[in-house]
């Protein structure tokens, strides 16, 4: 199991959080998603190393963008 943390830009409300969670949850291999509105942090739990491009595409599909990514293991 792997965990990766990203910073999402543009979220302003609970609906934003729901949209990001929904899109990222659909990425293959993702087993859990946590989003903190106040910090913009997106934590992704997955079966193996997260596919940064797929996570970025899911966040973009939700209408937001990624500022950074950092593997947490």
Residues 6+ apart with CB under 8 A from 18: none
Task: Print pLDDT tens along the chain (73 aa).
Answer: 899 999 999 999 999 999 999 999 999 999 999 999 999 999 999 999 889 999 999 999 999 999 865 555 4
> What is the C-alpha separation between 66 and 47, in angstroms, rounded?
21
pLDDT per residue as tens digits for the range 43-61? 999 999 889 999 999 999 9
> What is the C-alpha separation between 24 and 56, in angstroms, rounded?
9
> What is the C-alpha separation between 16 and 48, in angstroms, rounded?
26
Pull the structure tokens for residue 27.
């990425």
Instruction: State pTM to two decimals.
Output: 0.89
């Amino acid at each position: 199991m792997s965990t990766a943390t990203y910073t999402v830009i543009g979220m302003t409300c609970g609906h934003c959080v729901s949209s990001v969670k929904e899109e990222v949850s659909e990425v293959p291999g993702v087993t859990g998603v946590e989003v903190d509105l106040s910090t913009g942090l997106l934590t992704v739990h997955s079966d193996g190393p997260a596919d940064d491009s797929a996570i970025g595409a899911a966040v973009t599909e939700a209408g937001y963008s990624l500022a950074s990514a950092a593997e947490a293991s």
